[in-house]
Structure 1
Amino acid sequence: MRAPSGWRRVQASARRLKAELLAVSHAARDPRTSWPARALALLVLAYALSPLDLIPDFIPVLGLLDDLLLVPAGLWLALRLIPLEVLADARAQAARHPQKLVPSAWGLALILLTYGLLATLAWSWWAKRQGS
């Protein structure tokens, strides 16, 4: 029995997303990539590969929405910041050596650090508002 065409489109989109994430991981290591593009690429990769989500997956609908919106939006922005020649080389390298992106301790640490920074900024903002 064949999968419905809608499901095949979802699978094809997931494969493209994985390929682009792999290409971005190669581009982030390229010295021709600017540091803002590299930082965003690493943050997107860390979030995509992190076992921690902004909204936990067990929360109905919202738990999956962050993965369906944040990762593609961050990837889109990272792809726009990476120079075209670097991106072309990274895509070619990813196609030549398709590998599975695996969660890493560094990615988890980066996400935890980012969450800590955001929580500190939010607390600081709230404390200032309470004092005024």
Structure 2
Amino acid sequence: MRFLQAIRVWAKKIKRDSVTLWFAEKHPRTPKLIKFLGMFVVAYALSPIDLIPDFIPVLGYLDDVILLPALIWLTVKLLPMDILIVCQQQADDWMQEKQAKPASRWGIVFVVSVWAVTAVVLWNWVSF
């Protein structure tokens, strides 16, 4: 039971950190490189579509379990502490008020674009 509880706490922290990055991206003092990385991570984290669909055995959950949490952790660690504290508080308040995480249209555009480019490359490779 303790293991399951630890997983739940970890999942809530990851969810909160993705919303924290959403607020950090809008913060005027967030450094440009971290802002860019944060925009990428948030767009993908909040996208309702996965880059690797979950129905693909093992690989489908790879991005949800390893890749995405690692990117969120890295971006949060790169944020200056004062900005991180402010954005975490904003994320906590927002999540408590809305009881949900935001959605990202840019995340959908990103994932669909990657799939479209992959399809075109594969089509060209197979047809020649």
TM over 0.5: yes
Corresponding residue number in structure 2 for 1:130: none
Q: Aligned equivalents of 1:95 and 1:53: distance in 2?
A: 25
Matched, 1:5 2:2: yes
Q: Aligned equivalents of 2:102 and 2:20: distance in 1?
A: 14
Which structure's CA Rg is the greater one? 1
> How many residues were matched structurally?
118
CA drift of 1:117 comes to 9.9
Residues 108 and 22 (structure 1 numbering): CA distance in 2 closer, same or farther, change over 3 Å? same
Retained in 1: the 8 A contact 2:19–2:102?
A: no
CA drift of 1:111 comes to 3.5
SS state at 2:42 partner: helix
Q: Aligned equivalents of 2:67 and 2:14: distance in 1?
A: 12
Question: TM-score with structure 2 length normalisation?
Answer: 0.78
Retained in 2: the 8 A contact 1:37–1:78?
A: yes
Which consecutive unaligned segments of at least 5 residues does structure 2 have? Answer: none
CA drift of 1:85 comes to 0.9
Retained in 1: the 8 A contact 2:43–2:105?
A: no
CA drift of 1:112 comes to 3.6
Matched, 1:22 2:26: no
Question: TM-score with structure 1 length normalisation?
Answer: 0.76
- Considering only aligned residues, what root-mean-square deviation do their CA atoms show, in Å? 2.4
